């Protein structure tokens, strides 16, 4: 037995690593994943845009409609009853074919996203509703055979590549199996009491899944058959589109089954790219550098040793009538804070069911793009400095982690400063417009790791900046002309 174990270990080691050829063949073990290195394209990109879009946009009621419409008494259940009928008759399967995406122009939107400064784009692959947005042979519930009858993933990818953006896909399927179990229930009171919803009909269980075991109630199912089905589905997505980035809406999924998927993704990416590793896998679990940790609507409170990503939305995750969107200033402040801590921002731009975006979002994207055009050199390709920032927002207690730190918009002050660095140049961002002279304590002569400053430039301005370096702080006189009514960036060069 020991000989067999030793032989297996030797075999794994051999296929995992071939250092003399500078190649890596990943196997489904965390030990193998330690050889992974996060690609420089992702570390340099900093800002991506996401299309979290699909049939659940149709009712215009926001996120999780496919689940909540089967939750008796919920707002979505009541809305569905009033507008579509009882879910035992008119269910989510019928919502799917109301999604036509008739105003969707992926080329036009992608041009807007590139102009706004995005360096990568992520398409929804499938949400928890088990509806695939790619051309799938696994089941008929996909966007090519139903709804818009278009290969949504493929058309997004074509548009992204045309604009020179990296392309990714998100999969939310792993949670679908238990998430969608509400469709198997029935009303507990009223005239339709006891009448099963349409998810209980065996005819539609290729969409709604079969009933889960009584003890299977976690975010990720324990059902091995479902796990195998998930693996086959995500492999089909990987092999059909060769994305640069793959996002899972969960922690690392399904133990060994998830490891098989990630090993396959990494290996296929290297094979597709002539032995160059461009793959980025996002999931909601600390990575130790074996993938990229994602924080949904959350943030780090300090510099992470490993690159990470915040995913959030400019509004609700799916279209909701009358929803409030984040402003360009809020998004820019969020981006800078994230980048200063070694992170990336993936921002969902909410699309209507028809596929276009609203005018106020177009304006916000334009404002972000105009700011990026001036200040982007302090964002793209940068790395964290010796500290991420200073000011009141760094000393207050900060929420962190998933769903922490982004729920409420921070009211930054001009004393709130963030730093990035590139090629020895320090980029110093003021998160609010200054009302008086600017003091940066981290750049005082007596500060730890202090260096003598050679020059300071305000990006977007030709004005000669007046400054002096005291023991306790660098003092920059308030510029007479401010290039933009939002975050400013000073480019600081040190003496050699």
Name the token pair of 84.
């579509």
Residue 486 lies in a domain: yes
For residue 86, is it within any domain?
A: yes
Alpha-carbon span 492 to 490, nearest angstrom: 6
Regarding whether 431 and 282 lie in a shared domain, the answer is: no
Both 287 and 424 in one domain: the answer is no
Q: Are residues 42 and 171 in the same domain?
A: yes
For residue 331, is it within any domain?
Answer: no
CB crowding 135-160: b at 16 or more within 10 Å, else e: bbeeeebbbbebbbebbbbbbbbebb
User: What per-residue confidence (pLDDT) applies to 64?
Assistant: 98
What is the reported pLDDT for 450? 86
The pLDDT, as a whole number, for residue 404 is: 66
- Number of structural domains (the chain) is 2
Last residue of a domain, one of 261, 296, 331: 296
- Residue 456 in any domain: the answer is yes
User: What pLDDT, on the 0 to 100 scale, is given for residue 449?
Assistant: 83
CATH number at residue 433: 2.60.40.1180
Q: What per-residue confidence (pLDDT) applies to 395?
A: 83
CATH of the domain at 145: 3.20.20.80
CB 336 within 8 A of CB 429: yes
Position 354 in a domain: no
Asked which of 296, 318, 335 is the last residue of a domain, the reply is 296
Please state, in angstroms and rounded to a whole number, the distance separating the CA atoms of residues 329 and 386: 26
* Phi and psi angles of residue 134, each rounded to the nearest 5 degrees, phi first: -115, 170
Q: Which of 232, 264, 296 is the last residue of a domain?
A: 296
Q: What is the pLDDT of residue 18?
A: 36
Tokens representing 329 are 């200033």
Is 440 a member of any domain?
A: yes
Q: Given this model, what pLDDT does residue 13 score?
A: 37
Q: Does residue 327 belong to any structural domain of this protein?
A: no
Q: Taking Cα atoms as reference points, which of 269, 78, 68 lies closest to residue 181?
A: 68
Task: Note whether residue 403 is domain-resident.
Answer: no
Distance CA 1, CA 9 (A): 12
Unique residue bearing structure tokens 């160059």: 276
Tell me which residue range forms the domain holding 488: 414-494
Tokens at 104, concatenated: 């969707």
Residue 402 is predicted with a pLDDT of: 62
Nearest to 31 by CA among 295, 273, 262: 262
Query: Comparing C-alpha atoms, which of 123, 119, 30 is closest to residue 380?
Result: 119
Cβ contacts of residue 223 below 8 Å, gap of 6+?
A: 177, 212, 213, 216
Tokens found for residue 295: 């924080």
Divide the 496 residues of the chain into consecutive groups of 10 and give the mean pLDDT of each group.
Answer: 34 37 83 97 98 98 98 98 98 98 98 98 98 97 98 98 98 98 97 97 97 97 98 98 98 97 98 96 96 95 96 96 94 96 98 97 97 97 97 78 58 92 97 94 92 96 95 95 86 95
């Amino acid at each position: 037995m020991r000989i067999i174990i030793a032989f297996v270990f030797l075999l794994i080691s051999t296929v995992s690593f071939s250092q003399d050829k500078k190649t890596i063949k990943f196997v489904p073990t965390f030990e193998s994943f330690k050889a992974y290195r996060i690609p420089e394209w992702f570390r340099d990109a900093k800002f991506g845009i996401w299309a979290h879009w699909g049939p659940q946009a149709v009712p215009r009621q926001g996120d999780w409609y496919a689940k909540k419409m089967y939750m008796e008494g919920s707002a979505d259940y009541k809305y569905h009853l009033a507008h579509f009928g009882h879910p035992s008759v008119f269910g989510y399967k019928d919502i799917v074919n109301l999604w036509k995406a008739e105003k969707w122009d992926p080329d036009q939107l992608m041009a807007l996203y590139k102009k706004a400064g995005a360096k990568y784009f992520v398409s929804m692959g499938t949400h928890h509703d088990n509806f695939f947005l790619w051309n799938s042979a696994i089941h008929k519930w996909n966007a090519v055979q139903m709804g818009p009858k278009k290969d949504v993933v493929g058309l997004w990818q074509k548009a992204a590549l045309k604009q020179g953006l990296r392309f990714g896909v998100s999969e939310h399927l792993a949670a679908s199996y238990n998430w969608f179990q509400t469709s198997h229930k029935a009303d507990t009171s009223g005239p339709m009491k006891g009448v099963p919803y349409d998810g209980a009909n065996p005819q539609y269980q290729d969409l709604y899944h079969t009933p889960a075991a009584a003890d299977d109630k976690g975010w990720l199912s324990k059902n091995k058959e479902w796990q195998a089905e998930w693996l086959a589905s995500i492999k089909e997505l990987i092999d059909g589109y060769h994305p640069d980035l793959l996002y899972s809406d969960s922690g690392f999924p399904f133990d060994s089954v998830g490891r098989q998927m990630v090993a396959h993704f990494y290996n296929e990416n290297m094979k597709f790219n002539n032995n160059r590793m461009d793959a980025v896998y996002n999931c909601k679990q600390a990575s130790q550098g074996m993938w990229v940790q994602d924080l949904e609507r959350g943030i780090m409170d300090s510099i992470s040793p490993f690159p990470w990503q915040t995913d959030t939305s400019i509004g609700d995750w799916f279209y909701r009538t009358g929803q409030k969107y984040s402003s360009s200033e809020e998004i820019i402040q969020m981006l800078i804070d994230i980048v200063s801590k070694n992170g990336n921002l993936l921002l969902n731009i909410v699309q209507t069911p028809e596929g276009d975006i609203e005018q106020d979002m177009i304006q916000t994207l334009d404002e972000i793009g105009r700011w990026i055009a001036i200040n982007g050199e302090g964002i793209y390709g940068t790395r964290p400095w010796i500290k991420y920032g200073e000011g009141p927002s760094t000393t207050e207690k900060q929420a962190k982690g998933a769903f922490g730190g982004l729920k409420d918009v921070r009211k930054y002050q001009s004393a709130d400063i963030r730093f990035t660095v590139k090629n020895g140049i320090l980029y110093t961002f003021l998160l609010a417009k200054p009302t008086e002279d600017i003091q940066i304590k981290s750049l005082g002569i007596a500060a730890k790791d202090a260096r003598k400053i050679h020059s300071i430039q305000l990006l977007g301005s030709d004005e000669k900046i007046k400054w002096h370096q005291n023991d306790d702080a660098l003092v920059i006189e308030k510029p007479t002309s401010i290039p933009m009514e939002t975050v400013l960036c000073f480019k600081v060069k040190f003496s050699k």
